[in-house]
Amino acid sequence: MIGIPVELCAEGSACREAATRAYSALRASGIIDPRAFEAAVTVYRYQHPETQPRHARHIVAEWLAPDA
């Protein structure tokens, strides 16, 4: 898969914080999970447009996993 190195989006990175914050805020306001997730992926891809959509979904899903 083509994407960005994981170390560029480590814990505390701007793209990770923005994506997870978007997801959390939308869920807290009552938006259903799939839509909040897609919004978080969109935020991530705004920061990293070179990342393929499928890879971006995988990255964001890992960040949002309850045991991550």
Residue 35 lies in a domain: yes
Residue 43 lies in a domain: yes
More confident residue, 30 or 8: 30
The mean pLDDT value for 5-19 works out to: 78
CB 1, CB 55: distance < 8 Å: yes
Residue 27 lies in a domain: yes
Over the stretch 13-68, which tens digit does the pLDDT of each residue have?
A: 889 999 999 999 999 999 999 999 999 999 999 999 999 999 999 999 999 987 65
Residue 29 lies in a domain: yes
Residue 46 lies in a domain: yes
Residue 1 lies in a domain: no
DSSP letter for each residue of 42-56: HHHHHH-TTS-HHHH
Number of structural domains (the chain) is 1
Domain that holds residue 22: 6-64
What pLDDT is recorded for position 68?
52
For the chain, the residue count is 68
More confident residue, 38 or 7: 38
The mean pLDDT value for 10-14 works out to: 80
